Amino acid sequence: MLARRFILAAALSAFMAPALAADLIPVTVGTANSATDIAVYVAEKKGFFRDEGLDVSYIAFDSAAKMIAPFASGDLDVGGGGTSAGLYNAVARGIDIKIVADKNHTPPGQGIQPLLVRKDHVESRRYKTIADLKGMKISTAAPGSAASTTLDRALKMGGLTIKDVDQVYMGFPQQAVALANKAIDAAFTAEPSATQAVNSGSAVRVMGDDEIYPMHQLAVVFYAGGFIKKKPEAARRYMRAYLKGVRYYNDAIVNGRLSGPRGEEIVAILSDKIPIKDNSLYRTLIAPACDPDGKVQLKSLAEDLEFFRAAGQIEGAVTLEQALDSSFAEAAVAQLGPYTRGR
pLDDT in tens, 139-183: 998 888 889 999 999 999 999 999 999 999 998 889 999 999 999
Contact 318, 88 (CB under 8 A): yes
Q: Which amino acid type is present at position 137? A: K
| Chain segment 244-295, per-residue pLDDT in tens | 999 999 999 999 999 998 999 999 999 999 888 889 999 999 999 999 999 9
Contact 321, 91 (CB under 8 A): no
SS3 235: helix
Backbone angles phi, psi at 261, to 5 degrees: -55, -30
User: Percent of the chain having pLDDT more than 70?
Assistant: 93
Rounded CA separation 242/251 (Å): 15
pLDDT of residue 82: 85
The answer, yes or no, to whether residue 10 has pLDDT greater than 60, is: no
SS3 105: strand
Band of pLDDT at residue 21, cut at 50, 70 and 90? low
Across 329-338, b (16+ Cβ under 10 Å) vs e yields beebbeeeee
For 2, left (φ over 0), alpha (ψ -120 to 50), or beta? alpha
Any idea where the domains of the chain sit in the sequence? 25-107+217-336, 115-212
SS3 230: helix
Q: Would the CATH topology of 25-107+217-336 be identical to that of 115-212?
A: yes
SS3 140: strand
pLDDT of residue 275: 84
**Closest to 63 in 3D by CA, of 178, 164, 140:** 140
Query: How far, rounded to the nearest angstrom, does the alpha carbon of residue 104 sit from its chain's CA centroid?
Result: 6
pTM: 0.88
pLDDT of residue 22: 62
The answer, yes or no, to whether residue 12 has pLDDT greater than 70, is: no
CATH superfamily of 25-107+217-336: Periplasmic binding protein-like II (3.40.190.10)
What is the fold, at CATH topology level, of the domain defined by 115-212?
A: D-Maltodextrin-Binding Protein; domain 2 (3.40.190)
Rounded CA separation 57/66 (Å): 17
Rounded CA separation 190/35 (Å): 8
